[in-house]
Amino acid sequence: MDNPFQALSDAFQPEYRVNLSIQRLDGSIMLTLSNERGVAAKRMITAEQRNDPKRMRRLIESIKFGMAIEQGGSAMQMLAAMTDAGNVEKLGGKPALHAATTQTAPVSASL
């Protein structure tokens, strides 16, 4: 992920139009994602986030997570996908690939 602008475009296209605009002299940029229904998300990205590949990956995951929640996605399924080796390609209201499956044992409580 050498080019953060390309990483942002790759993460959200072709589902969304990606617009990046310079916002401040400190290097902050505004990311606007839109589709035929209008603006889907707007996020301010600091120069520090943009220039750190790890922070950029987390930012992309966070944006996808937020958009998926707004579209009615399952928070538990999305969190499982995010913790499964960073696999968030299919977040955004669609079923997550490689989502971790967990089994829980029944818990009984007595009062």
Per-residue pLDDT of the chain in tens (111 residues, 90 and over written 9): 478 899 999 999 999 999 999 988 888 999 999 999 999 889 999 999 999 999 999 999 999 988 888 877 666 776 676 666 545 455 444 433 333 333 334 444 443
Nearest to 26 by CA among 44, 8, 13, 11: 44
Contacts of 17 (CB under 8 A, 6+ apart): 33, 34, 35
Residue 20: give the domain boundaries: 4-83
* Structural domain total, the chain: 1
Q: Is residue 89 part of a domain?
A: no
Evaluate whether residue 23 is within a structural domain: yes
The tokens describing 8, both together, are: 């942002």
In a domain, 105, yes or no: no
Model pLDDT, residue 9: 93
> Is residue 22 situated within a structural domain?
yes
Q: Is residue 34, in this structure, part of any structural domain at all?
A: yes
On whether residue 67 sits in a domain, the answer given is yes
**Model's pTM, two decimal places?**
0.63
Angle subtended by helix axes 4-12 and 53-70, to nearest 10? 20
